[in-house]
């Protein structure tokens, strides 16, 4: 019911119940890993605040979660807009978990040909977006007595690959932000967790990278037996977040079994896979 925003709607008893419910903010909650994480944390008992630029998407998901008896609220937000982030943070009565998930890749051009505007846009959302939310919510996370800042980076934050320069540079930035923050706030009751997924087949990641070219986006996953799903990553995020507060999962890297490194991916010939699938009962 979005209890932290609508105090007036609740009786005193309900209010007491609401304020004892831990609250998780999930950015980029309109699709993919963010949406799956919001679902999962709601199921774990969190009141979830879904943020993203696309109002219709997060409102639909928040409505669906509320219909299922969960506590969820949609709050349209552009993580690159600092004034909007500050206003958003000021409107929350508490915050126990911040999942910095908003991010993404634009383009796969080599460094020699990359558009600086794409690089800037990737830095804005993947690094400064995390910075804005983290700075704005750190006081509330500290006040919670057991806060969690979680940053969804990428295996591109730990290595690079041809064409991945701009995205890898940004994700390395997010990785460094998380590591630096962990050092700086060691005396506060706030842990800093980094989750770094490799190949995850979501509806939008590659479509965004290739500016809507669906065929090119589909080729990223072609022949890969089982890329990770958004639910796989959400499961890992939920596991890390639900450890006791003194347990800090500093960094967790997850990849599909068929991906041994950023650039070593096992792909089965498409025809062979299709005939194997036909043989299955």
Residue ranges in contact with ligand 8X3 by CB under 6 A: 154-156, 164, 167, 198-199, 262
**27 has which bridge partners?**
51
**Contact between 33 and 39 (Cβ < 8 Å):** no
Identity of the residue, 34 or 198, whose beta carbon is nearer to ligand 8X3 in the bound complex = 198
Q: Return the half-sphere exposure (C-beta side, CA atoms, 13 A cut-off) of residue 90.
A: 6
Q: Minimal distance in Å, beta carbon 125 to ligand 8X3?
A: 13
Residue 163 token pair = 């064409």
Identity of the residue, 14 or 261, whose beta carbon is nearer to ligand 8X3 in the bound complex = 261
What is the DSSP secondary-structure string of 97-126? EEEE----------TTT--HHHHHHHHIII
User: Which position has the token pair 């998407």?
Assistant: 57
Q: Minimal distance in Å, beta carbon 185 to ligand 8X3?
A: 26
Q: Tell me the longest C-alpha to C-alpha distance in the chain.
A: 63
167 assigned to active site: yes
Identity of the residue, 119 or 167, whose beta carbon is nearer to ligand 8X3 in the bound complex = 167
**49 has which bridge partners?**
25, 73
Identity of the residue, 65 or 128, whose beta carbon is nearer to ligand 8X3 in the bound complex = 128
**231 has which bridge partners?**
none
**23 has which bridge partners?**
47
Q: Minimal distance in Å, beta carbon 281 to ligand 8X3?
A: 34
Q: Minimal distance in Å, beta carbon 236 to ligand 8X3?
A: 14
Catalytic residue (one of 46, 161, 167, 221): 167
How far apart CA 234 and CA 238 sit, in angstroms, is 6
Residue nearest ligand 8X3, CB atom distance: 154
Catalytic residues: 167
């Amino acid at each position: 019911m979005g209890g932290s925003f609508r105090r007036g709607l609740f009786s005193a008893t309900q209010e007491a119940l609401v304020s004892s419910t831990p609250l998780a903010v999930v950015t980029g909650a309109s699709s993919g890993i963010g949406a799956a994480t919001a679902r999962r944390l709601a199921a774990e008992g969190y009141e979830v605040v879904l943020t993203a630029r696309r109002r219709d998407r997060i409102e639909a998901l928040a409505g669906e979660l509320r219909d299922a008896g969960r506590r969820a609220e949609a709050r349209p937000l552009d993580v690159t807009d600092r004034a909007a982030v500050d206003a958003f943070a000021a409107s929350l009565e508490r915050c126990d978990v911040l999942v910095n998930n908003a991010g993404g890749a634009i383009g796969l051009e080599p460094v020699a040909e990359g558009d600086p505007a794409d690089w800037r846009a990737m830095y804005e959302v993947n690094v400064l977006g995390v910075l804005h939310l983290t700075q704005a919510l750190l006081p509330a996370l500290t006040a919670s007595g057991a806060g969690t800042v979680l940053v969804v980076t990428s295996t591109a934050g730990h290595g690079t690959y041809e064409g991945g320069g701009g995205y890898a540079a940004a994700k390395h930035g997010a990785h460094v932000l998380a590591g630096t923050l962990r050092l700086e706030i060691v005396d506060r009751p706030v842990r800093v967790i980094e989750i770094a997924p490799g190949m995850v087949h979501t509806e939008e990641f590659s479509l965004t990278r290739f500016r809507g070219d669906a065929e090119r986006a589909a080729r990223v996953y072609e022949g890969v037996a089982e890329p990770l799903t958004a639910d796989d990553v959400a499961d890992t995020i939920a596991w890390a977040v639900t450890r006791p507060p003194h347990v800090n999962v500093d960094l967790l890297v997850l990849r599909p079994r068929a991906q041994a490194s950023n650039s070593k991916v096992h792909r089965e010939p498409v025809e062979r896979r299709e005939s194997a699938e036909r043989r299955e009962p």
